[in-house]
Amino acid sequence: MISVFVYGTLLVGESNHFVAAPFVQSVQSGTIFGRLFDVGPYPALLLTEGNGEQHVVGEWLEVTEEGLQAMDVLEGYYGPGASNNEYDRVWIRDVNGQREGWVYIYPTVDGLKEINGSSWKEYDASRIK
């Protein structure tokens, strides 16, 4: 199984969870060091490190190889260093250091509005649609 930390539309109950759902073996809540930014219909993640940094809450999905491939397609990830990647996929560790796996990060957050808070679900629910 492959661990992937999700924090936006791939979360259980969110609009793109159906992409991963057929391949999910387990789901656990998690938290990583980072900050979220508003890209419109989905968030961008900027990773941070160290004490006192903002946290991002999400879920650890345990998926099959096919699940990772399906998420790569959704996230526009074509491989390490590919110039046409919309998101990059990097290795991350949970804040408690007990879980690690992949996460999709946005290459740049320049010009994006930072989300005040640690939860995309809460932020998205509070927006006027």
Helices marked H in 26-83 — which ranges? 65-75
User: In this predicted model, what pLDDT tens digit does every residue of 36-86 receive, in sequence order?
Assistant: 999 999 999 999 876 667 899 999 999 999 999 999 999 999 999 899 999
What positions carry a catalytic annotation?
75
Lowest mean pLDDT segment, chosen from 5-9, 13-17, 124-128: 124-128
pLDDT higher than 80, residue 89: yes
Domain boundaries, the chain: 2-112
Q: How far is CA 117 from the centre of its chain?
A: 15
Let me know if 14 is exposed, middle or buried by CB neighbors in 10 A (0-12, 13-18, 19+). Answer: middle
pTM: 0.94
Higher pLDDT, residue 125 or 104: 104
- Evaluate if residue 128 carries a pLDDT over 90: no
Report the SS3 class of residue 57. strand
The second-level CATH assignment, the architecture, of 2-112 is: Roll (3.10)
